[in-house]
Structure 1
Amino acid sequence: MLRGIYTSASGMIAQMERQDTIANNLANVNTTGFKKDQSVIKQFPELMLYRKDDEKEITNFGETSILTKIGALGTGASLEGVYTEFSQGSLEKTDNNLDFAISGDGLFAVESKGSVKLTRSGDFALSPEGYLITKNGEKVLGSSGSQLGYIKVSNSNFKITKSGILKNAKIEASNISAKNISLDGNSGDSLLLLKVSDNKNLKKIGDNLFDISNVKTITQDNSSKMEQGFIEHSNVSSIKEMVEMIEVSRAYETNQKVLTSQDETLGKVVNEVGKWG
């Protein structure tokens, strides 16, 4: 009886955590370049149940019961983890020369609190000093050969080619440490696109940024294409997320009813079974 209560409770907790992930996806459905998260639910080990004394057999050690298999008993579930889905979002033309979208797997590099962070959000702006920055004020990073630097825009005809080469802008040197980033050193002044060997090691840290502390290999991405005057929408489907939220609500409600039923049964066992007339 108590095992059943714990099983139902674990299912409710797992569904609550899954709902938090879905709610965050829906909250960012209109966030430029946002990549949705998916929850992974893990089932606890099952127990095999047997019934005794249906049949018996005579052995050298006397009479023993033959166990009759009944079936497997589930013991609950938990949230194993949350992973980010990096599928391409749809592109929208804005004709704003400070808006950029990536066609491919690359990510923009920005400086945040003295270190390199990655993002897919390309709705940039200009600082009062003329540097290309994100909406939150982080400086967008470019490269000049094998050196990282900031992008300083010189006039309103600022352009970036599909391969990332800067026009009417230049790279200004920076002191950013990027030990795990490998640059090919072949291109001139360009906006930097990076490729991560294993996306699962990227960690979301808020403000649509990814931390790269746990990523071993980061290389310059020369295969993705830059689209100036476009933005990338999030890859969240609001309809799909709403359907999943309904599924979560129903699963939670089912576990709740099972838990309530078992609690009421347990109450009767404690208060009524064995009671003298």
Structure 2
Amino acid sequence: MIRALYTAASGMTAQQLNLDNIANNLANSSTTGFQQRRLAFSDMLYQNTTSPGSAATQQTTNAAGLQVGLGVRPTSTETIQTQGDFNSTGNPLDLAISGGGFFQVLLPNGQTGYSRSGSFHMDSTGNVVTADGNPLQPAITIPPDATNITIGSDGTVSVVQPGTTQSAQIGSIQMALFVNPGGLNSVGNNIYLATTASGDPIIGTPGGSEGLGTIQQGTLEASNVSVVDEFVEMIVAQRSYESNSRVVKAADEMMQQLNQLSQ
């Protein structure tokens, strides 16, 4: 019964963390480029009273054995790499990635960050930056007198300037792809960092042979969180938590009855 208390408590702790993850998904259901996370669990150690395959007699072995599990533990949060819905904004610096890949931005500490959020702006010098002021990489600078900005599906950036009728190319957006995007490290502000688990970034042209997606101008990718699914997961987590709490209560009542018998 002491074992049951700790086993059920591990289930309650795991579901509490699961609910925290669900709350984060719901809180970011309107965050541009946010990708849903799902908590993964695994069972803990087993106490072997009789090991499977151990000798039962000189001629026979135990086919199944007797093992009692000691609970559950959260192992990882998996990022769901599905495409979010597209929302048309009409803003020429709002970009969405149709397919795989990440935008590259230069962080204040000199590291390169990776993001699915394509809500870009111009700073005081015309550089294309994120809402936090982190410049897009490679750097794109819009001339101050540009009257029209066009960004092609392959990342080509062109502008029309006064006195001309033809557009001129001023740069090209390069994107990054990872062998294991689920291994990226989330640091907030829609930014991921590369890790040994994600592998090195594969840099290329949008829509190129590397498998990178294409760029959609004047569009933003919404979060891929399904609010309905998250509410269902929340109910399941709550019921699982309640079930484990009832096990704690049942084990406590059984211990109480044993104590009464000894009096």
Question: Normalised by the shorter chain, which TM-score bucket?
Answer: 0.7 to 0.9
* CA offset digits 1:135-165 (Å, max 9, x no partner): 12211112xxxxxxx2111124122111001
Q: Which residue of 1 aligns with 2:159?
A: 168
Counterparts of 1:213 and 1:125, CA distance in 2: 28
Q: Which residue of 2 aligns with 1:86?
A: 81
Unaligned runs of 5+ in 1: 51-56, 60-66, 143-149, 170-186
Q: Which residue of 1 aligns with 2:246?
A: 257
Instruction: Please say if 1:239 is aligned against 2:216.
Output: no
Contact 1:100 1:123 in 2 (8 A): yes
Structure 1 position 47, deviation (Å):
4.8
Structure 1 position 213, deviation (Å):
4.0
Structure 1 position 242, deviation (Å):
0.6
Structure 1 position 106, deviation (Å):
1.1
Call closer, same or farther: CA 1:132–1:4 in 2, change over 3 Å. Answer: same
Structure 1 position 84, deviation (Å):
0.9
Structure 1 position 266, deviation (Å):
1.4
Contact 1:25 1:241 in 2 (8 A): yes
Q: Which residue of 2 aligns with 1:120?
A: 116
Which structure would you say has the larger Rg?
1
Call closer, same or farther: CA 1:41–1:212 in 2, change over 3 Å. Answer: same
Q: Which residue of 2 aligns with 1:139?
A: 135
User: Structure 2 length as normaliser, TM-score?
Assistant: 0.83
* CA offset digits 1:196-225 (Å, max 9, x no partner): 122132110011100114343211233321
Unaligned runs of 5+ in 2: 51-56, 161-168, 208-212
Q: Which residue of 1 aligns with 2:181?
A: 199
Structure 1 position 36, deviation (Å):
0.9
Structure 1 position 20, deviation (Å):
0.9
Q: How many pairs were matched up?
A: 238
Contact 1:100 1:228 in 2 (8 A): yes
Q: Which residue of 2 aligns with 1:36?
A: 36
Contact 1:39 1:82 in 2 (8 A): yes
Instruction: Please say if 1:100 is aligned against 2:95.
Output: yes
Q: Which residue of 1 aligns with 2:126?
A: 130
Structure 1 position 237, deviation (Å):
0.2
Structure 1 position 6, deviation (Å):
0.7
Contact 1:38 1:83 in 2 (8 A): yes
Counterparts of 1:259 and 1:230, CA distance in 2: 51
Call closer, same or farther: CA 1:69–1:115 in 2, change over 3 Å. Answer: closer
Counterparts of 2:111 and 2:27, CA distance in 1: 27
Counterparts of 1:198 and 1:274, CA distance in 2: 59
Counterparts of 1:188 and 1:6, CA distance in 2: 63
Counterparts of 1:69 and 1:273, CA distance in 2: 35
Q: CA RMSD in A?
A: 2.5
Counterparts of 2:13 and 2:65, CA distance in 1: 28
User: Structure 1 length as normaliser, TM-score?
Assistant: 0.79
Structure holding more strand per residue: 1
Q: Which residue of 2 aligns with 1:54?
A: none
Contact 1:31 1:234 in 2 (8 A): yes
One-letter amino acid matched to 2:13: I
SS across alignment from 1:217: coil
Contact 2:44 2:71 in 1 (8 A): yes
Counterparts of 2:150 and 2:241, CA distance in 1: 52
Within a 5 Å distance, the mapping from 1:182-193 to structure 2 comes to: 189-193=171-175
Structure 1 position 72, deviation (Å):
5.2
Structure 1 position 261, deviation (Å):
1.7
* Percent identity over paired residues: 31
Contact 1:48 1:69 in 2 (8 A): no
Counterparts of 1:229 and 1:188, CA distance in 2: 18
